[in-house]
Structure 1
Amino acid sequence: MALFEMKWLRRFVRRHTNPIAENRAELWKRRLSIGYAILAWQAFGLVCYMVYTGRNDWAKYYGYKTAEEAALSPAQQFAKHLNVEGTGKIIRISGFSKVEEVPFDATEAKRVKE
């Protein structure tokens, strides 16, 4: 934990701000936590609504994804997006067992993209 501390930032903030009374800090902490809870609940409701109305894959719904791209698995889409070179295998694992092994050819994926 000590490795990730930014002591210079802490010193800068302490040097350039005034201390806040504990009761006032507690009040604002409570207000911010309530605001965060409301915001998180609204975001959860929005995701549920989008899934319910069939817009969970927004790129496909709004036409940014072609039918060929939609047919690819997420692993194939990521490999294509990351411009993986050459050929290889995409292995799907569930638990401790191998479920599927799909060959992947980056040159063919680039042709589909263009």
Structure 2
Amino acid sequence: MALFEMKWLRRMVRRHTNPIPEHRAEMWKRRLSIGYAILAWQAFGLVCYMVYTGRNDWAKFYGYKTEEDLALSPAQQFARHLNVEGTGKIIRLSGFKKVEEIPFDAKEAKRVKE
């Protein structure tokens, strides 16, 4: 397996390191996989705890979102933060069906933001 086809990196690592015995490499591979599993389990537990305590929207919980931001749909918030130029439509889909079509005006969004 070439690491993104960076052969120069492979050559440099091979030149500056010594080979290790297979059993030691297998031992460290096992240890690292156990460590990764424990870390992933802890991260999953943290996410579940945050959702359970109501802090899954951390920006809202810590007061970084205003009431105006909360009233907008996520598509409108992204369009406003990306400074989309001009006017257009935001189309909301559910599966393959169009659910809603909202007109979007960038000038009005900037005025609300300020």
Structure-1-length-normalised TM-score: 0.90
Q: Tell me, what secondary structure is at the counterpart of 1:64?
A: coil
The aligned amino acid for 1:46 is: L
Q: Tell me, what secondary structure is at the counterpart of 2:25?
A: helix
| Counterpart position of 1:18 | 18
| Counterpart position of 2:80 | 80
| Distance in 1 of aligned mates of 2:11 and 2:77 | 45
Q: Tell me, what secondary structure is at the counterpart of 1:90?
A: strand
1:10, CA displacement in angstroms? 1.2
| Distance in 1 of aligned mates of 2:20 and 2:98 | 56
Moved more, 46-55 or 87-96: 87-96
Structure-2-length-normalised TM-score: 0.90
Residue correspondence of structure 1 range 1-114 to structure 2 within 5 A? 4-114=4-114
| Distance in 2 of aligned mates of 1:106 and 1:20 | 60
Identity among equivalent positions (%) equals 88
- Structure 2 runs not aligned, ≥5 long: none
- Structure 1 runs not aligned, ≥5 long: none
- Count residues with an aligned counterpart: 113
Question: What is the RMSD of the two structures over their aligned residues, measured on CA atoms?
Answer: 1.5
